[in-house]
Structure 1
C-alpha cells in the first residue's frame, strides 16, 4: 500500500448498471470507460513519450479529459508533469495557447504562480491523437494537503504566504485580461522542492512508495479492447499534511485553465466552479461574467486557506441553500435580486432577517451564524485546538475588511485584484510572510 490510508488502491466491487459499466470498479482512478476511441491514451509506468525524451515514472492525477503523469525529462535531467489529453478534447488548444501567451507576457508580480508550458507535442495511439502538455510538476493540491491533515489547517505564516501568492497570481491573470473561472483549493497546487530533481526514480520510490498497478478486468470476462490498458494506477502521494507544510516550501502554482476566458471577447453567462463558491451574479444578474466573478471565488478560497471550514456551508449546496448562506453572512440581496428569489421566505422575512426556527442544516436552533461566529468557528477555535497562533485583532480587522470588499453582491462594487494587492492586509501580513518564505527558501538551498 502506498501513500496515506485515504488513498488506498484496493479494488472493490459495486453494483453494475446493466449495459453501462463494462469493468470492475477500481477506486481513485480515472473512468475506465473513457479508454475508448476519442478518449484517454492508454499508458503505463515506464513508457516513453515524445521520441523517448520523457519516461513515465508515476501518476500524478487525472480529470475527465486527461491523465497527468510524473516523468523524467531525459534531456534536462529533471522531473516534469505530462498532461495527456483525451483525443476528443485535444483539438481544443485554448489551455495550451493561454499558457504560451502568459509565458510570453512581461514579468510582473504574480507571474511566478502561473505554470510555464515547457513544450507540447502529440501522441498517437489506438484511441486517437492526443495533445500532451509538459509543465513543472506539483506535489499536491491545497485541498489534498488539508484532507491529509487531522486539523485541516495550515501554519499561520504558511497560510499568509499562500494567500499572498494567490492574490498576486489572480492580479497577474486579470492584468492579462484573463478570468480564471474555477478558483478553488483543488486547483491551487504546491510545487515540488527543487531538490526533487536530485533523486533518481529508485530513491523517489523509496521515499514515496512505488506505483501499484491495478488490473483492468471486464465484468463479462472478455478480453480487453485494444485501446484499454491492462493496468491503471492510483495517483502517487508526494505531498504533506497541511499542518506539516513549512514556510519556504509552500510555493504554489495556479492550475486548470479549462474554464478561463477573456471577458472582452468571450461571452460567459454561467459559472462552472463549485456550487458553494459561485458568485451570486451567476444566478441573478443575467449579464456576462467578468473579473469580479473571480474576486468572489478568490475571497471564498482565501477563507478556506485560513480556516478549517468554508465561509459558506451547505450539506446539499442547491442554488437556494447557497443563496441563503450568502444572505445570512452578508445581508439582504439587491432589491431586484431579492424580489426574484422566490423561495426567500423559507429562510428569511422580507427584511432579510433569518426565520428563527429549528433547521438541522444550519446548526443549533436554526440561529443565524454571523461573520463573527463563522470566523471563530472556522478559524480561531480550530487554530487554538491545534495549538496554533490565533489571528490577532489587528490582522483580523484587516482580513475582514479585505474579504468584505471582495464579497459585495453587486459585481461592479467589488474590489479589483489590484486593489486587493495593495490592501492593508497584503501590506501588513501577506507580503511580509511571502518575503520571509523566500528568505527561508534561499537559506535552505
Structure 2
C-alpha cells in the first residue's frame, strides 16, 4: 500500500476506495483476533493490494503486459557448482506502479505473519511494530497484557495514513520522545503514571501540559489536536471543500473512531469486532466495500 501511495500525485486513494480499505482492515483484523491471533506488526508495508485478474493471465499475456522476467545469475563464492543446493539464477522483482489515486476498487491482503502469535499461548509477547506505529504502553515499558489492543492502536495510526495523504505522527526522526510528544500534541495528556514517568517530559512540556518556553521559541509548536489533524488529511480543510460527508456526520464519526482506537489506556480501546459496529464503519466504510463487491460480481456475471 505504501508504494501505491508514493506513486500517486496526491498520495491518496479515491474517497470510496479509502472507505473500503478501512472496512477490509477492520474485517481482516477482526478475523485474526476472533481466532486468537495477534498480528503484532501491522503497518502499511504489510497491508498489500491484491491485483485483479492477475492469476487468470497466461504466461504470454503476463509477459506482454508486464515484460519478461529479468534473470540474474547466481554463483557460489567458492566457485563450485550451484546444484543441487542452489538455483542457477534468481528473478528480479517485477516493478509495478499502482498509483493510489487510480485504484477505485482496492482489495487488501494482510501479510507478514512472521512475528504473529497465539494470544492464549504467549503470556509475555514482544511486539515488532515499527516505532512510529507502536502503542504508548510500549514506549513506557509496560507489559503487553492486552496485545490485541496494541493491534488496534497500530491499526488506527496506519488507518489515518491510508485514508489521507500524510502520517498521523510527524517527526523529523523516529525518536521515541519526539513520538511521545506528537501523541500528546494530538490526543492530550496521557495517564498520570506515564506523564510522571516520562524522563524527558521537561524538554517538551511544563507540568501543566503547556509547551516549555525554550522549545516553543525554537520550533514554534502548536497543539494540533485530533480534529485538526483529520481536517489536515488532505481531503479539504473546510466543510465546503472537504471530501468527507461533513453534513452527514462522517467527519464526526471519523473523530469518534480514531479517538476510541487511539485511547491511551489499552483496556479502553475497542475490540476489532466492535470496530465493525462504529457509526463510521456502518454508514460509510462497509457500504463502500459492499459496492465494490457488487461491482465485482456484476463483472463476473457479464463475462459468463
Distance 1:260 1:398, change over 3 A: same
| 1:341 equivalent in alignment to 2:198 | yes
In structure 1, the residue matched to 2:27 is 168
In structure 2, the residue matched to 1:391 is 244
Retained in 1: the 8 A contact 2:231–2:238? no
Retained in 2: the 8 A contact 1:406–1:414? yes
Distance apart, 1:189 and its partner CA: 1.4
Within-5 A mapping of 1:276-295: 276-284=132-140, 286-289=142-145, 290-295=147-152
Within-5 A mapping of 1:264-413: 264-284=120-140, 286-289=142-145, 290-355=147-212, 357-359=216-218, 365-381=220-236, 390-393=243-246, 394-413=249-268
Distance 1:224 1:230, change over 3 A: farther
Distance apart, 1:192 and its partner CA: 2.5
Distance apart, 1:158 and its partner CA: 0.5
The C-alpha deviation readout for 1:213-249, integer Å capped at 9, x for no partner, is: 345689xx974774666644431134521111123xx
5+ residue gaps in structure 1?
Answer: 1-141
Q: In structure 2, the residue corresponding to 1:189 is in which secondary structure?
A: strand
In structure 2, the residue matched to 1:430 is 285
In structure 2, the residue matched to 1:22 is none
Q: In structure 1, the residue corresponding to 2:235 is in which secondary structure?
A: helix
Retained in 1: the 8 A contact 2:49–2:108? yes
In structure 1, the residue matched to 2:54 is 196
Retained in 2: the 8 A contact 1:224–1:230? no
Within-5 A mapping of 1:1-400: 142-193=1-52, 195-215=53-73, 223=79, 226=82, 231-238=89-96, 240-247=98-105, 250-284=106-140, 286-289=142-145, 290-355=147-212, 357-359=216-218, 365-381=220-236, 390-393=243-246, 394-400=249-255
Q: TM-score, normalised by structure 1?
A: 0.61
The whole-number CA distance in structure 2 between the counterparts of 1:307 and 1:185 is 13
Distance 1:309 1:383, change over 3 A: farther
Q: In structure 1, the residue corresponding to 2:48 is in which secondary structure?
A: strand
The whole-number CA distance in structure 2 between the counterparts of 1:173 and 1:197 is 25
5+ residue gaps in structure 2?
Answer: none
Q: TM-score, normalised by structure 2?
A: 0.87
Deviant stretches of 4+, over 6 Å = none
Distance 1:183 1:224, change over 3 A: farther
Distance 1:382 1:306, change over 3 A: farther
Query: Higher helix fraction: Structure 1 or Structure 2?
Result: 2
Distance apart, 1:406 and its partner CA: 0.9
